[in-house]
Every structure is written in C-alpha cells, then in structure tokens.
C-alpha cells in the first residue's frame, strides 16, 4: 500500500470510524504500525478497546487486540501471553501458520483472517486478535470471558414435575442444553447473523430427516431478508417472520425451556435461538399448542385429559362470561331465572351506569391491577395486587359505582384467564374480550354470535408458515387428534403430526401397550 492510499484511508477512518465501502485493500498490512493506526481509528472513543504491544526475541513485534470485559484476561495471560513471551517464536518460524503448527497459542478455537473488517468483527465477538509484524494474516483466538447468568429454572413456565433447567442469555449455553437432550448428528444448528450494528448470532435448530425441507427453506428465506440495525430480543425477529402481523394471536411459539424445544423438534418443527435472550422461537405454531402446558407431558394421561377439559372450559369462561352477563341484563332479562333476576336487579338498583359501562370500568381496573402487579417489585407486587383488588372492589360496591354481581363476574373471568398456559396466547383473548363486550352491549346475544363467527373464521383462515392454525381440527386429520383435548398415552403416539414432518413420519412402533403377561 503506497503512502497516498494509506493517508487517504486513515483520513476516512478518522471521519467515519469505519473502513470505506469502496476500499479494495481491506487487508492486514505487513506493517504493524499501519495496522495499529487503522484499528485505533476504527475503535476511536472506545474506552474498553485494548491494544497491547509485545516484543518477541528482541526483534519481532506483536499486537494483542481485544475488548476489555468480553475476554477472559486470566486465560489470555495463561494461554497466550506466557507461551509467547517465555517461549517466543521458534527458530526459522516467521509465519502464523507455522506458529500455529508449533502450538504457541494454547487455545481450543483459533483461526486466521486476512481482512481488517473480519478482524474487527471477531474482536467485537469477544475474541482476541494477534498481529505479527511482517505478516499479512492475523490470528483470532477464542477467549470469551464475559459475565453471564447461570442455568436456572424457567421463570415463565414453572412446573411441578419435569426438568428444572432453562435457557440463558448465552446462545452457546442454550445449544449445549439442547445437545444434552438430542445426542444425534441429525440435530442441526445452522448459524446466521442478523443486525447491521448488533451483529446478533442466531441458530436454527432442526432434526434432519424429520423437519420438512420446504419449511426449512421458508425459514431461511424469511431470516435472510431481514434488514435492521439491531436484534435485541427474539421478539424483534418474530415480528419480521410471522405470516399475519396484525392478528391478535401469536403465530410463533416462544419458550425458555430446552425440553419443550427438544419435544417440538422431535415432532418436525424448527426452533430459532437468538443470542442475548433466553426465549427460543418454535415454528410453526397452532391454536392447540397455545393451550398445552409443559406438565401435560409429565403427568399421567388420564389426569392430563381431565385438566385439559377444565382448561378449555375456563378459556370459554374468560372469553364470554362478561359479554353474556351484559347481554342478559341489558337485552334478554327474560332468560334469567326469576329468583336470580330479582337479586341482580336489587344489586344494580343504585348503580348509575348501564351494564356495558360497568363491565368496561371493572375490566379496565382489573387489567390495571394485573399490569401493576407485574411491574412492581416481586416482594410487594402480589400483595399490592390482592389488597388493591379487595379494597377497590369492596369500596366500589359500597359506593354504588358497580354492583356485586359484576365484581363476581369480572373476578371469575380474571381467574379463568390465568389458566391459559402461555402468556402471549392469553393476551390475545384479553383483547378479544373487550371486543365481545362492545358487541354484547350493542347487539346482545346477536353481537356475541357475530363476534364468535368472525373469530372462528379468522382462526380457521390463519396460517403459521403455511400450516393451518386450527389443524388438525380444521382441516380435520383423525390420526393427529390424540393430543388436542385429550392426551393419549405415550405408546399411542405412533406417527408425527402430518403438517410438521417430512417423509419420516413414524415415531413409535405399534404394539407397545403395557399389560400383564
């Protein structure tokens, strides 16, 4: 590189802090001083950037480049600095390839790069770059050592029986937890990088021969077309790859449990794990998977089936109970038994608002208490929510602002809504509940029927990566109905779901039903 080009490049670096896009000589220079100037210009005003010069054999200059806080400095001292400073480069060895052959850098993962841009990217990914004067290659040593949270139980999916480990914010830890459960070379983990500035690492997990090739190709396509400055959480990615962005229902399942991811991979689904978040994405998602709890697969099938029936009943209560109450008291009082009607009328005698306004006030207050309980510190959050609900409800009834039956209806609805296992799935029904209330207040039972028909049409037409959201009920697939309302015994799951698996559909051979000989 001549002096004119060098000055031009350094001038560009001082102005922008990055290499010019048209610069064709984005290569490691044999002049170590030039490399040092370029790196200092790239990392200008970065106080955590470290360049440490070393002299070997009294003549060879070496630069160690890393970001303080991302690198394990103790390992850097033991595995890199000591071998290089005390042993030095062996005689007649002046290339980085020969130095690697002599194992001067005692790290498990090392590689060489030829470009400054690659070197900068690797340094920002918690690696150490080693440059030697006179060499046109740089050595990259993996010495990650940043602080990270240990493996703990998943806070959002607590279970009585089952594994207690959950994903963390470290992508490599999460892939390790998955490998511990599926110890096969058919478990594939494809790497992607998304985000112009964040350069977030993403891993697509699937089982070769089980996950459909068409689904895998669609996932790759949707991820590759994302253009964004940064991915800070898996939800960023979710909004870019879902089918219907304005549907209240989630089309991608999220979980922080490795056993849930492993179970879905065995069905033929695909998981997306994002660095810096414990929540993995599972695709495709159906309506029924949003109602399945983790513990459904760790308890006996008879008990699980009973709990699922209760869960579906509570789902309908949380969705329709307030609107049915408003419709009955406003438009169809003749449908209420006489004794109950007299009690309701007596309770509402002093209430100045119609039933629809009363219901909206109480629902709004309940949602406010729920949100406040989440945002408050844990030691006081639950206590404030309970006391607030009791005090406000009792005071409102005594003041004649709302009636006691309405408090009972809203409280029952709130309790029923907590039975929905997945939080983002429950929020969809919380939004639709307000729409049902407005329809009931305007048209009575006719409004509820119209809302129910519209909701059913939307769910039947919704797709998640091409898979019908209501499958296997609509379209009906009799062989896949063993894990919807009921949960069949484990030995009865002979085949994988039709929409999720490729040619390898057989899961468990027949004839394994236990019994006395």
Task: Record the tokens describing residue 501, joined without a space.
Answer: 């698996």
Name residue, tokens 């963390």: 168
For residues 29 and 75, membership in a common domain is answered with yes
d(CA 338, CA 315): 28
Query: What residue spans of 43-92 are helical by DSSP H?
Result: 73-76, 82
Task: Record the tokens describing residue 205, joined without a space.
Answer: 């997990």
What tens digit of pLDDT does each residue of 126-139 get? 899 988 888 888 88
For residues 93 and 68, membership in a common domain is answered with yes
Name residue, tokens 């040619």: 503
**Residue 502 included in any domain:** no
191, 260 contact by CB (below 8 A)? no
What confidence score (pLDDT) does residue 148 get?
A: 80
Whether the link from the prior residue into 284 is cis, omega within 30° of 0, is yes
Residue 284 in this model has a pLDDT that exceeds 80? yes
Summary mean pLDDT of the chain: 86
Name residue, tokens 């945002």: 375
Q: Would you place residue 8 in the very low, low, confident or very high pLDDT band (cuts 50, 70, 90)?
A: low
Residue 477 in this model has a pLDDT that exceeds 80? yes
What tens digit of pLDDT does each residue of 311-346 get? 999 999 999 999 999 999 999 999 999 999 999 999
For residues 7 and 138, membership in a common domain is answered with yes
- The residue out of 428, 451, 468 marking a domain boundary is 468
**Residue 92 included in any domain:** yes
345, 455 contact by CB (below 8 A)? no
What confidence score (pLDDT) does residue 1 get?
A: 45
Q: Would you place residue 510 in the very low, low, confident or very high pLDDT band (cuts 50, 70, 90)?
A: confident
Residue 207 in this model has a pLDDT that exceeds 80? yes
For residues 365 and 386, membership in a common domain is answered with yes
Q: Which of 164-178, 316-330, 433-447, 496-510 has the lowest mean pLDDT?
A: 496-510
CA dist list (Å): 454 to 1, 102, 280, 350, 449: 68, 71, 31, 36, 9
Q: Which of 196-205, 261-270, 344-353 has the lowest mean pLDDT?
A: 344-353
CA dist list (Å): 74 to 80, 83, 85: 10, 13, 15
For residues 61 and 196, membership in a common domain is answered with no
For residues 265 and 316, membership in a common domain is answered with no
For residues 277 and 418, membership in a common domain is answered with no
Q: Which of 195-204, 277-286, 371-380, 414-423 has the lowest mean pLDDT?
A: 371-380
**Residue 512 included in any domain:** no
**Residue 226 included in any domain:** yes
Burial class (CB in 10 A: 0-12, 13-18, 19+), 7: exposed
d(CA 32, CA 59): 13
What tens digit of pLDDT does each residue of 366-408 get? 888 888 777 777 666 666 666 677 777 788 888 888 888 998 9
For residues 391 and 417, membership in a common domain is answered with yes
What confidence score (pLDDT) does residue 298 get?
A: 93
173, 274 contact by CB (below 8 A)? no
What confidence score (pLDDT) does residue 261 get?
A: 96
**Residue 432 included in any domain:** yes
**Residue 506 included in any domain:** no
List of residues 6+ apart from 355 with CB closer than 8 A = 325, 326, 329, 330, 348, 406, 441
**Residue 495 included in any domain:** no
What confidence score (pLDDT) does residue 86 get?
A: 66
Q: To which H or E segment does residue 266 belong?
A: helix 258-267
Domain region containing 371: 297-468
Query: What residue spans of 268-337 are helical by DSSP H?
Result: 301-330
Burial class (CB in 10 A: 0-12, 13-18, 19+), 117: middle
- How wide is the angle at C-alpha 269 spanned by C-alphas 298 and 301, nearest 5°? 20
Return the higher-pLDDT residue of 478 and 241.
241
For residues 279 and 302, membership in a common domain is answered with no
205, 216 contact by CB (below 8 A)? no
**Residue 148 included in any domain:** no
**Residue 74 CB neighbours (<10 A):** 10
Residue 13 in this model has a pLDDT that exceeds 80? no
What confidence score (pLDDT) does residue 20 get?
A: 45
For residues 370 and 422, membership in a common domain is answered with yes
Q: To which H or E segment does residue 273 belong?
A: strand 270-274
- The residue out of 250, 285, 320 marking a domain boundary is 285
55, 61 contact by CB (below 8 A)? yes
Number of structural domains (the chain) is 3
For residues 337 and 427, membership in a common domain is answered with yes
For residues 274 and 325, membership in a common domain is answered with no
SS3 101: helix
- The residue out of 123, 142, 161 marking a domain boundary is 142
């Amino acid at each position: 590189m001549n002096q004119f080009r060098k000055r031009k490049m350094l001038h560009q670096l001082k102005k922008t802090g990055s290499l010019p896009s048209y610069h064709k000589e984005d290569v490691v220079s044999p002049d170590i001083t030039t490399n040092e100037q370029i790196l200092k210009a790239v990392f200008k005003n970065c106080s955590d950037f470290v360049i440490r010069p070393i002299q070997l054999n009294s003549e060879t200059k070496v630069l160690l480049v890393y970001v303080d806080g991302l690198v394990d400095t103790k390992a850097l001292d033991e595995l890199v600095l000591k071998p290089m400073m005390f042993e030095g480069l062996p005689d007649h060895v002046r290339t980085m390839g020969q130095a690697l052959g002599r194992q001067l850098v005692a790290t498990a993962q090392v590689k060489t790069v030829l470009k400054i841009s690659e070197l900068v990217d690797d340094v920002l990914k918690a690696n150490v770059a080693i440059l030697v004067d006179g060499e046109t290659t740089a050595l990259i040593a993996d010495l990650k050592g940043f602080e990270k949270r240990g493996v703990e139980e998943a806070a959002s999916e607590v279970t009585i029986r089952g594994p207690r480990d959950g994903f963390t914010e470290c992508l490599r830890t999460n892939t390790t937890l998955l490998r511990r459960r599926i110890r096969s070379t058919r478990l594939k983990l494809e790497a992607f990088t998304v985000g112009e500035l964040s350069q977030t690492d993403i891993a697509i997990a699937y089982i070769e021969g089980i996950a459909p090739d068409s689904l895998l190709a669609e996932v790759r396509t949707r991820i590759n077309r994302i253009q964004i400055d940064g991915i800070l959480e898996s939800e960023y990615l979710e909004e870019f790859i879902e089918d219907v962005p304005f549907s209240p229902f989630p089309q991608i399942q999220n979980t922080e449990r490795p056993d849930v991811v492993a179970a879905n991979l065995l069905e033929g689904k695909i998981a997306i794990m994002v660095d810096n978040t414990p929540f993995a994405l599972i695709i495709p998602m159906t309506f029924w998977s949003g109602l399945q709890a983790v513990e459904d697969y760790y308890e006996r099938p008879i008990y699980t089936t009973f709990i699922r029936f209760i869960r579906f009943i509570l789902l309908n209560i949380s969705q329709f109970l307030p609107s049915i109450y408003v419709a009955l008291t406003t438009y169809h009082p003749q449908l209420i038994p006489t004794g109950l009607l007299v009690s309701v009328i007596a309770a509402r005698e002093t209430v100045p608002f119609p039933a629809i306004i009363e219901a909206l006030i109480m629902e709004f207050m309940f949602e406010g208490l729920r949100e406040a309980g989440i945002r408050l510190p844990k030691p006081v959050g639950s206590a404030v929510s309970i006391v607030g609900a009791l005090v406000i409800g009792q005071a409102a009834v005594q003041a004649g602002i709302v009636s006691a039956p309405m408090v009972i209806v809203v409280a029952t609805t709130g309790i029923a809504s907590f039975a929905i296992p997945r939080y983002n799935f429950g929020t969809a029904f919380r939004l639709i509940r307000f729409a049902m209330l407005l329809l009931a207040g305007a048209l009575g039972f006719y409004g509820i029927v119209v809302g129910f028909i519209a909701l059913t049409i939307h769910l039947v037409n919704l797709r998640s990566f091409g898979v019908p959201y209501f499958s296997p009920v609509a379209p009906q697939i009799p062989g896949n109905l063993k894990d919807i309302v009921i949960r069949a015994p484990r030995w009865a799951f002979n085949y994988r779901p039709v929409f999720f698996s490729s040619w390898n559909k057989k899961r468990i051979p027949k004839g394994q039903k236990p019994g006395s000989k």
